[in-house]
């Protein structure tokens, strides 16, 4: 399964958004309606899903879905 598909699965579950709304260019806060608590929970869910640790300084840079996908791909999954 592609990283994007796995990220999308987590985002849909965490933010209760329509899967069609989750695109690479979607911004987590502006487009998907996440608030700061949602973002924290999303990061935690992503860490669990991909078995990685995302430092707060890096999490702050994850604005769009493509940012998340690229970051996880860089970690080597």
Q: Where are the beta strands (DSSP E) in 1-77?
A: none
**Catalytic one among 18, 31, 35, 67?**
35
Alpha-carbon gap, residue 18 to 28, rounded angstroms: 13
Contact 10, 50 (CB under 8 A): no
For every one of its 77 residues, what pLDDT tens digit does the chain have, with 9 covering 90 and above? 799 999 999 999 999 999 999 999 999 999 999 999 999 999 999 999 999 999 999 999 999 999 999 999 999 75
Contact 46, 68 (CB under 8 A): yes
pTM of the full structure: 0.92
Contact 50, 56 (CB under 8 A): no
Q: What is the pLDDT of residue 1?
A: 76
Q: Which 8-state DSSP code applies to residue 21?
A: G
Known catalytic membership, residue 35? yes
């Amino acid at each position: 399964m592609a990283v994007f598909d796995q990220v999308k699965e987590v985002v849909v579950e965490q933010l209760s958004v329509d899967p069609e709304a989750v695109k690479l260019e979607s911004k987590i806060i502006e487009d998907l309606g996440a608030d700061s608590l949602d973002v924290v929970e999303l990061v935690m869910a992503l860490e669990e899903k991909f078995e990685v640790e995302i430092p707060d300084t890096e999490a702050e840079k994850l604005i769009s879905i493509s940012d998340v996908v690229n970051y996880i791909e860089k970690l080597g999954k």
